[in-house]
Amino acid sequence: MSTHPTPPPHCPASSAGYPPGGLYRLHGPEAEADPMGLYEKLRAEYGTVAPVLVSGDLPAWLVLGHRENLDVARTASRFARDPRGWRDMLEGRVPPDTPLGPMVAWVPVCNFTDGPTHERLRSAVVQGLERFDKRGIRRYVTRFANQLVDQIAGAGQADLVSAFSDQLPMLVMTQLVGAPDEHGPRLVNAARDMLQGTETALESDRYVTETLQQLVRERKIRPGRDLATWLLEHPADLSDTEVLMHLRVVLIAAYETTANLIANTLRTVLTDQRFRASLSGGHMTLPDAIEQVLWDDPPINAVIGRWATGDTVLGGRQIKAGDMLLLGLAAANADPCIRPDPGTSVRGNRSHLAFSSGPHECPGQDIGRAIADTGIEVLLDRLPDVELAVPEDELRWRGTLMSRHLLSLPVRFTPRPARTLRPEEASGRPAVYPPASAPAPVPAPRRPGRTGRRRLPTWWRRLLGSR
């Protein structure tokens, strides 16, 4: 049974006066199969803030309203990010082997801190990420995306989840954090294994941690042009443990969110006639399509991560000190107060909460966009006639409290020969960042069409059958 358990005495619903049997679980078959349907059911019954149960039937509040999500995300004085104030943890109701462990176990990283400590740690991460040359990142993405397409181009069919979207983000991110090339494929598998919570998840977690520990040791001796080096050198004076933990957070967070974003965008492009019409009419570019997906199908549905610092009121609900709150990012994006008609286009509007908001807003969102945008462009340029190989209703997802991950995306296309590799690819050497002082190339002038709109790339016109 996935809904309506009797609330325990310490549950927020009980203290707020809700009748027994009025709670919904955010785990189990219903939540995993149709999270958006469950969110709308909760919105209809409770409004913008709903009492729910998470793994182990632990009580929490799910924030469904867009304005209320902003209030929680932006007000650290009322809703702290530090999990050590969680009342259920302090009173011994959280089992040591809870599946929520990675999300509620405090470690010295910026996303579990507030105030000056948060500012010190986050500044190191943000400034480190900002040092990457954006053209250099796109060259990495292009390199790895082409290599992944090379592996499937001759077959005429593929699963774009296992062969592309699950692979590309980690291959790119290992380069950015500074890990050697040979660790990329195994880190992809280990990260996926960790996030799925399999029997070997702990072993995979150890592999990721040990790999990053080795990286930190090496970069202290031989600095490079990578995030590990820049965190070690930052004036915030991070300890080795803080550097390790932040590399781990960046690597895992970027992997899961960007893999989901790529898969969701590809699925939408291949199945949604609205996208095809907008693209064929020149009303939407690939970056526009990605932003629309961030509204409609964000890579993260909900985030565990706020605890009330005192008794307060949110969305008309009485929140007690120590209560856990979940940011309902996907639900907030569908809030009828800001999107009365969810089917309408939101081109040019980035007020979605796919990357959260406030002081803990995702610092790597532009890198995630670049990986998705460039990777999908390479794929569709190489395989312009790609199409879904199964009926859309046969697609399946794996649901968790935080996200819904597409299990496979079978496609077919015309087989194509492998590319001729450039020398640096054939030798296995990674692409090299340009010098920091290198001038930006001057783009060739674009000649607008008669409508003044940007002309679609060849691969989009082929895909859409436009003339």
pLDDT on residue 362: 92
Residues 6+ apart with CB under 8 A from 181: 174, 175, 428, 430
Position 100 in a domain = yes
Which of 373, 363, 120, 378 has the alpha carbon at shortest distance from 254? 363
* Local structure of 410: helix, strand or coil: strand
Please count the structural domains in the chain: 1
Q: Which residue has the higher pLDDT, 61 or 2?
A: 61
pLDDT score of 424 more than 60: no
> Which DSSP state fits 96?
T
Half-sphere exposure of 27 (CA within 13 A, CB side): 12
Sign of CA dihedral 211, 214, 218, 223: positive
Residues 6+ apart with CB under 8 A from 310: 78, 321
- What the block records as the tokens of 7 is 């609330």
pLDDT score of 6 more than 50: no
Q: Which residue has the higher pLDDT, 394 or 179?
A: 394
Residues 6+ apart with CB under 8 A from 5: 21, 23, 25, 53, 57
Average pLDDT in the chain: 83
Q: Containing H/E element for 157?
A: strand 157-159
pLDDT score of 159 more than 90: yes
Which of 125, 123, 132, 116 has the alpha carbon at shortest distance from 244? 125
Q: What is the arithmetic mean of pLDDT over 91-119?
A: 89
pLDDT on residue 138: 93
Q: Containing H/E element for 202?
A: helix 201-221
| 282 φ/ψ sector (left φ>0, alpha ψ -120 to 50, else beta) | left
Question: What does the alpha-carbon distance between residue 139 and residue 145 come to, in Å, rounded to a whole number?
Answer: 10
Q: What is the arithmetic mean of pLDDT over 79-103?
A: 90
- What the block records as the tokens of 385 is 């006639």
Position 52 in a domain = yes
Q: Which residue has the higher pLDDT, 74 or 275?
A: 74
pLDDT on residue 273: 73
* CA angle, residues 201, 293, 143, in degrees to nearest 5: 65
Q: What is the arithmetic mean of pLDDT over 254-265?
A: 93
> Which DSSP state fits 434?
P
Q: What is the arithmetic mean of pLDDT over 294-307?
A: 92
* Local structure of 59: helix, strand or coil: strand
Position 5 in a domain = no
By residue range, what is the domain housing residue 269? 12-464
Position 1 in a domain = no
* Local structure of 18: helix, strand or coil: coil
Among 19-33, 150-164, 165-179, 263-277, the range with the most confident prediction by mean pLDDT is: 150-164
User: Which residues make beta-bridge pairs with 80?
Assistant: 307
Q: What is the pTM of this model?
A: 0.84
Strand order in the sheet with 49-54: 24-25, 49-54, 58-63, 324-327, 303-308, 79-80
Residues 6+ apart with CB under 8 A from 98: 55, 56, 58, 104
Q: Which residue has the higher pLDDT, 55 or 243?
A: 243
Position 4 in a domain = no
Position 122 in a domain = yes
CB atoms within 10 A of CB 126: 13
Residues 6+ apart with CB under 8 A from 423: none
Q: Please report the beta strands in 41-139, taking only residues with DSSP state E, as ranges in sequence order.
A: 49-54, 58-63, 79-80
Split at pLDDT 50, 70, 90, the class of 445 is: very low
Q: What is the arithmetic mean of pLDDT over 226-252?
A: 94
**CATH code at 284?**
1.10.630.10
pLDDT score of 15 more than 90: no
Half-sphere exposure of 64 (CA within 13 A, CB side): 25
Which residue matches tokens 């954090």?
A: 177
Distance of CA 139 to the CA centre of its chain: 21
Question: What does the alpha-carbon distance between residue 152 and residue 425 come to, in Å, rounded to a whole number?
Answer: 17
- What the block records as the tokens of 68 is 């209320």
Split at pLDDT 50, 70, 90, the class of 282 is: low
> Which DSSP state fits 27?
S
Q: What is the arithmetic mean of pLDDT over 261-273?
A: 91
Split at pLDDT 50, 70, 90, the class of 203 is: confident
> Which DSSP state fits 25?
E
Position 252 in a domain = yes
Which of 326, 325, 314, 324 has the alpha carbon at shortest distance from 87? 324
Which of 328, 260, 433 has the alpha carbon at shortest distance from 48? 328
pLDDT score of 198 more than 70: no
Position 279 in a domain = yes
Question: What does the alpha-carbon distance between residue 409 and residue 259 come to, in Å, rounded to a whole number?
Answer: 13
Split at pLDDT 50, 70, 90, the class of 9 is: very low
Which residue matches tokens 């945008």?
A: 373
pLDDT score of 5 more than 70: no
Tell me the per-residue pLDDT of 320-368, one tens digit each, with 9 for 90 and over. Answer: 999 999 999 999 999 999 988 776 767 667 889 999 999 999 999 999 9
Backbone φ, ψ for residue 291 (5° rounding) = -65, -35
Question: What does the alpha-carbon distance between residue 352 and residue 130 come to, in Å, rounded to a whole number?
Answer: 22
